[in-house]
């Protein structure tokens, strides 16, 4: 027994004195630096740079061009607007380990523009911008492609090794020119725009802030379809992230050739076929319940819809110059429509009211208003008559507020188009060249 105990003690002592060799021949810091160095070689080794698509948390898709050098400088373009697509931006970047290898854009650039919390910079959300990122974890990295995930908002980016032709497309302003071509849609003054291709009319609505194209059409069997697809601009034109499939026809985007001033149409090419985009005066598929949904929300919530700019007319925002409204002590704030106002006594009514910011109370309030009376048509249109003016103060008989009131009672009525969970466009059924955007 004593002999067995001695053997066990010797084994324990021998085991305790023996040090396992590390499975790695290098320390952790050395391995991390080696990996980052490898990534550095990849991103700087692409002689013609990288083309990229970045999808924000909101789903917006943007195209980029990047070229990195060994001095931690990056040169870029972006299809955000005609400036970012045409002016090469230089900023800095870093590769750093933050629990995993990361690519950081560390001075303000076009990447930061999308994430800027000042919504006036990018049209996004106040406090969040377009919910994008400028710090990314590296998911995969090869000599041909790099996949990234935003560290804060989880936006996704894919970089693909650029060819000489890809680089030339950005440097020679091909992408910028395609963006200008897309902006030519704004020269069509009608709210509704129709792409005619292979005998089918596709209604196309472009939201350039959120980079979404909404396509609606009627198939050969008479069934209506609507697809909302993110899009981005490439050297070949407008690219849809979600293809439009209509029977045997697939549309993945289009190239804008030019604008025909005689016919007031945009000339495009898709699938090697010429087509046109022209204005229309009514929806291809009217939402017959949209106006009632708009009205009912305000009545049920006992709240109002508001519009910053009032009516857009013939290509002009705030065509009636509402923002010029002021008194000696107050300034116009926004226009409101309140469906089904329920006063303490008496019958309910609708109210159309310009609100003013009043410094004396450091708040908004109204000085005058009028009471429209909506009539809902079976085809989805709504028309307004007037019950009378509100008694708070005399309604102006001239000027911007008077023009708003006159426009409201247009006898042709309005189509309502729901553009988001909390927004509608109210479009004149006369010629679709006049509309107002309501939000809540």
360 pLDDT tier (thresholds 50, 70, 90): confident
Residues 6+ apart with CB under 8 A from 37: none
Burial of 10 (0-12, 13-18, 19+ CB in 10 A): exposed
If DSSP codes are grouped into helix, strand and coil, which group holds residue 187? helix
Say if residue 354's pLDDT is above 80: yes
29 pLDDT tier (thresholds 50, 70, 90): low
Which of 3.40.50, 3.10.260, 2.60.40, 2.40.128 is the CATH number of 290-439? 2.40.128
Chain-centre distance for alpha carbon 168: 27
Listed residue (217, 238, 239, 237) closest to 227, CA to CA: 217
Q: What is the pLDDT of residue 15?
A: 47
Scan for tokens 């021998």, then name that residue. Answer: 14
246 pLDDT tier (thresholds 50, 70, 90): very high
| Mean pLDDT, residues 92-101 | 93
HEC sequence for 80-122: CCCCCCCCCEEEEEEEEECCCEEEEECCCCHHHHHHCCCHHHH
Instruction: Kindly report, residue by residue over 196-242, the tens digit of the pLDDT.
Output: 999 899 999 998 888 999 999 999 898 999 999 999 999 889 999 99
| Mean pLDDT, residues 258-276 | 92
Chain-centre distance for alpha carbon 224: 25
Neighbouring C-beta atoms of residue 218, cutoff 10 Å: 16
What region does 264 belong to: left with phi over 0, alpha with psi -120 to 50, or beta?
left
- What 69-72 contacts at long range (C-beta under 8 Å, 24+ apart), as own/partner pairs, is 69/44, 70/40, 70/44
Contact 354, 347 (CB under 8 A): no
Contact 167, 48 (CB under 8 A): yes
Q: What is the pLDDT of residue 119?
A: 87
23 pLDDT tier (thresholds 50, 70, 90): low
Helix (H) / strand (E) element for 394: namely none
Say if residue 135's pLDDT is above 60: yes
User: What is the spatial distance between Cα 317 and Cα 215, in angstroms, rounded to a whole number?
Assistant: 24
Q: What is the pLDDT of residue 84?
A: 97
Say if residue 33's pLDDT is above 80: no
Q: Encoding tokens for residue 255?
A: 């190239």
48 pLDDT tier (thresholds 50, 70, 90): very high
Range from 4-8, 140-144, 149-153, 156-160 carrying the lowest mean pLDDT? 4-8
Q: Give the residues across from 106 on adjacent strands.
A: none
Say if residue 6's pLDDT is above 70: no
| Mean pLDDT, residues 389-400 | 92
If DSSP codes are grouped into helix, strand and coil, which group holds residue 14? helix
Listed residue (270, 242, 272, 274) closest to 254, CA to CA: 270
4 pLDDT tier (thresholds 50, 70, 90): very low
Q: Which residue has the higher pLDDT, 22 or 175?
A: 175
User: What is the spatial distance between Cα 435 and Cα 100, in angstroms, rounded to a whole number?
Assistant: 50
Q: What is the pLDDT of residue 391?
A: 85
Q: Encoding tokens for residue 271?
A: 């699938």
Please state the domain extents for the chain.
30-172, 177-280, 290-439
Rounded percentage of the chain residues whose pLDDT exceeds 70 = 92
Q: What is the pLDDT of residue 420?
A: 84
The answer to whether 30-172 and 177-280 have equal CATH topology is yes
User: What is the spatial distance between Cα 192 and Cα 203, in angstroms, rounded to a whole number?
Assistant: 7
Instruction: Kindly report, residue by residue over 109-120, the tens digit of the pLDDT.
Output: 999 999 999 988
Domain 177-280 belongs to what topology?
A: Lipocalin (2.40.128)
Q: What is the pLDDT of residue 10?
A: 44
30-172 is classed CATH 1.20.120: no
148 pLDDT tier (thresholds 50, 70, 90): very high
Contact 315, 189 (CB under 8 A): yes
Scan for tokens 């030019």, then name that residue. Answer: 258
| Mean pLDDT, residues 66-77 | 97
Contact 266, 300 (CB under 8 A): no
User: What is the spatial distance between Cα 252 and Cα 171, in angstroms, rounded to a whole number?
Assistant: 24
| Mean pLDDT, residues 117-129 | 89
Contact 50, 66 (CB under 8 A): yes
| Mean pLDDT, residues 372-396 | 94
Burial track 426-439 (b if 16+ CB lie within 10 A, e otherwise): bbbbebbbbbbbbe
User: What is the spatial distance between Cα 349 and Cα 343, in angstroms, rounded to a whole number?
Assistant: 9
- What 66-75 contacts at long range (C-beta under 8 Å, 24+ apart), as own/partner pairs, is 66/159, 67/167, 68/43, 68/44, 68/93, 69/44, 70/40, 70/44, 74/105, 74/109, 75/49
How far are the Cα atoms of 23, 62, 156, 366 from residue 55, in angstroms, in the given order? 40, 7, 5, 42
Say if residue 14's pLDDT is above 90: no
For the chain, the maximum distance between any two Cα atoms, rounded to a whole number of angstroms, is: 116
Listed residue (351, 337, 413) closest to 378, CA to CA: 413
Q: What is the pLDDT of residue 25?
A: 56
Range from 19-28, 158-167, 354-363 carrying the lowest mean pLDDT? 19-28
- pTM > 0.85: yes or no: no
If DSSP codes are grouped into helix, strand and coil, which group holds residue 290? helix
Neighbouring C-beta atoms of residue 224, cutoff 10 Å: 10
User: What is the spatial distance between Cα 243 and Cα 241, in angstroms, rounded to a whole number?
Assistant: 6
């Amino acid at each position: 027994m004593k002999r067995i105990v001695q053997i066990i003690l010797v084994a324990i002592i021998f085991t305790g004195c023996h040090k396992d060799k590390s499975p790695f021949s290098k320390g952790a810091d050395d391995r991390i630096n080696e990996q980052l160095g490898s990534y550095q070689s990849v991103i700087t080794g692409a002689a013609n740079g990288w083309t990229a698509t970045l999808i924000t948390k909101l789903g917006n898709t943007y195209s980029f061009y990047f070229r990195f050098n060994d001095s931690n400088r990056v040169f870029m373009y972006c299809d955000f607007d005609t400036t970012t697509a045409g002016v090469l931006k230089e900023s800095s970047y870093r590769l750093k380990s933050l629990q995993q290898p990361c690519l950081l854009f560390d001075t303000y650039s076009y990447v930061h523009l999308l994430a800027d919390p000042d919504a006036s910079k990018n049209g996004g959300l106040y406090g969040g911008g377009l919910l994008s990122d400028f710090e990314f974890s590296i998911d995969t990295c090869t000599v041909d492609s790099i996949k990234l995930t935003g560290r804060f908002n989880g936006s996704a980016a894919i970089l693909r090794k650029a060819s000489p032709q890809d680089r030339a497309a950005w440097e020679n302003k091909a992408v910028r020119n395609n963006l200008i071509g897309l902006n030519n849609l704004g020269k069509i003054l009608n709210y509704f725009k129709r792409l005619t291709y292979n005998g089918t009319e596709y209604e196309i609505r472009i939201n350039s802030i959120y980079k979404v194209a909404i396509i609606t059409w009627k198939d050969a069997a008479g069934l209506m379809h609507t697809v909302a697809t993110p899009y981005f601009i490439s050297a070949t034109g407008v690219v849809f992230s979600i293809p439009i499939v209509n029977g045997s026809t697939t549309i993945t985007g289009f190239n804008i050739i030019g604008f025909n001033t005689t016919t007031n149409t945009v000339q495009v090419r898709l699938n090697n076929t010429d087509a046109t985009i022209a204005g229309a005066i009514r929806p291809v598929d009217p939402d017959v319940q949209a106006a009632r949904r708009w009205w009912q929300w305000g009545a049920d919530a006992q709240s109002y819809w508001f519009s910053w700019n009032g009516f857009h007319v013939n290509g002009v925002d705030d065509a009636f110059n509402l923002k010029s409204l002021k008194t000696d002590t107050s300034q116009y704030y926004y226009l409101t429509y309140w469906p089904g106002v329920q006063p303490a006594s008496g019958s309910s009514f609708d109210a159309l009211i310009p609100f003013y910011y009043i410094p004396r109370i450091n708040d908004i309030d109204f000085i005058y208003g009028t009471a429209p009376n909506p009539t809902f048509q079976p085809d989805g249109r709504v028309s307004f008559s007037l019950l009378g003016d509100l008694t708070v103060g005399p309604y102006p008989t001239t000027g911007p507020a008077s023009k708003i009131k006159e426009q409201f009672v247009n006898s042709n009525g309005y189509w309502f188009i729901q553009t988001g969970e909390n927004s509608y466009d109210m479009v004149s059924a006369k010629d679709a060249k006049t509309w107002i955007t309501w939000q809540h």
